[in-house]
Amino acid sequence: MDAFTFNTSKSIQFGVGALGRIGELVRQQIGDCVMLVTDPGMMATGIVEKALQPLQDAGVTVELFADVEADPPERVVLKATEHAISVGVSGVIGLGGGSSLDVAKLVALLARGEEQLMDIYGVGNAKGPRLPLILVPTTAGTGSEVTPISIVTTGKNEKMGVVSPVLLPDIALLDPELTYGLPPHITAATGIDAMVHAIEAYASASPNNNPVSRMLAVQALTLMGRSILKAVHEGKNVEARSDMLLGSMLAGQAFANSPVAAVHALAYPLGGHFHIPHGLSNALVLPHVLRFNAVTAPQPYAELAPYVFPNLADMEGQERAAAFCDRLADLSLACGLQPNLRAMNIPEDFLPRLASDAMNQTRLLVNNPRPVSEADALAIYRAAF
């Protein structure tokens, strides 16, 4: 067996009502002054108030930063960091979707004042230490609560990642109740995003693709495959919401150690140029990237297919892999997601620009099971159009 490394969050606490314990956890792990990082949408849901009450009951002073934007730009990270430094917080809580959790990770690191954002982009450049950190996801999609990755929008359209184990939190606190109010389209997009994480982790060409990640990916897809449609169409279904939140976390653990590839590489330019939510961007290109990969590397998709779609078990090899790609496309439609790039008002003459920009995602493309040229990327975008 090849050598590998597997890192994940120090403590994972899962359960309905788990948010009610956040006051005692902060007292134990952080101290009496914490910054809570979230976004305006979360403020409107009432979830932030549900977090503030147990913190106040525990005598914790909370500095609220609620200005996180989707696909957070550098200025948001820097603004939050300046606030944390000026107040002298003893730790950070991230509450929300992937954007809020990503910002919280970087604030916990940069608020120590020992590193600069411009110096830590890339893999392994962030060294730490950081402030104590608790992450509380409110969507079942990004898995950010268990990944050593934070994505930042740099400039107008480009995204860059900070990748380092130091970003893993001290506690990932998962409460399915926090996802009950998610609208169907967000449930769908984030759910497909999590499934992409598991699929790409399992098939990754990374030298660190390992049996732990593959095991987690299989379990994640088993949970989410049986529950995503229920979660989308029956938003208060406790079992379905729990399956999705746990599946998202397991998929996060998988791809945090066996990195994602061309689906994400081709999704990022869609978000950067057209501000399409990340999960939907992934869903739009997913079946087309997998069909491209399955020409030369069908085995991982054939292996995964029955865990998501049990009725594919009777097929074998290339036929099963092809059916898996088709069924994933059907699943996106059944979840109510847009069917193609045309439906997102993307001009056909912009596809070459998308293909060119996707080639900049070398950190991701190197993990794809089949090499992707710019011409290949353009062909995939055309298929998705």
Q: Which two tokens stand for residue 154?
A: 């740099």
- Side-chain-facing half-sphere of 287: CA atoms under 13 Å: 19
**Predicted confidence (pLDDT) per residue in 139-194, tens digit:** 999 999 999 999 998 877 778 889 999 999 999 999 999 999 899 999 999 999 99
**Predicted confidence (pLDDT) per residue in 229-264, tens digit:** 999 999 999 999 999 999 999 999 999 999 999 999
Please report which confidence band the pLDDT of residue 19 belongs to, taking 50, 70 and 90 as the band edges: very high
Beta-ladder partners of 12: 172
Q: Quick one: pLDDT at residue 71?
A: 86
Nearest Cα to 266, choosing from 164, 218, 343, 196?
196
CB atoms within 10 A of CB 57: 11
Beta-ladder partners of 136: 95
**Predicted confidence (pLDDT) per residue in 34-74, tens digit:** 999 999 999 999 999 999 999 999 999 999 999 999 889 99
CB 217 within 8 A of CB 200: no
Q: Quick one: pLDDT at residue 159?
A: 81
Domains and CATH numbers, the chain: 11-179 (3.40.50.1970), 184-384 (1.20.1090.10)
pTM: 0.94
Q: Quick one: pLDDT at residue 84?
A: 97
Contacts of 287 (CB under 8 A, 6+ apart): 325, 326, 328, 329, 332
Distances (CA, A) of 299 to 294, 315, 322, 366: 8, 12, 11, 19
Q: What percent of the chain has pLDDT over 70?
A: 100
Q: Quick one: pLDDT at residue 160?
A: 87
Q: Quick one: pLDDT at residue 158?
A: 78
Question: Rounded CA gap, 254 and 21, in Å?
Answer: 27
Question: Is 118's pLDDT higher than 80?
Answer: yes
Please report which confidence band the pLDDT of residue 335 belongs to, taking 50, 70 and 90 as the band edges: very high
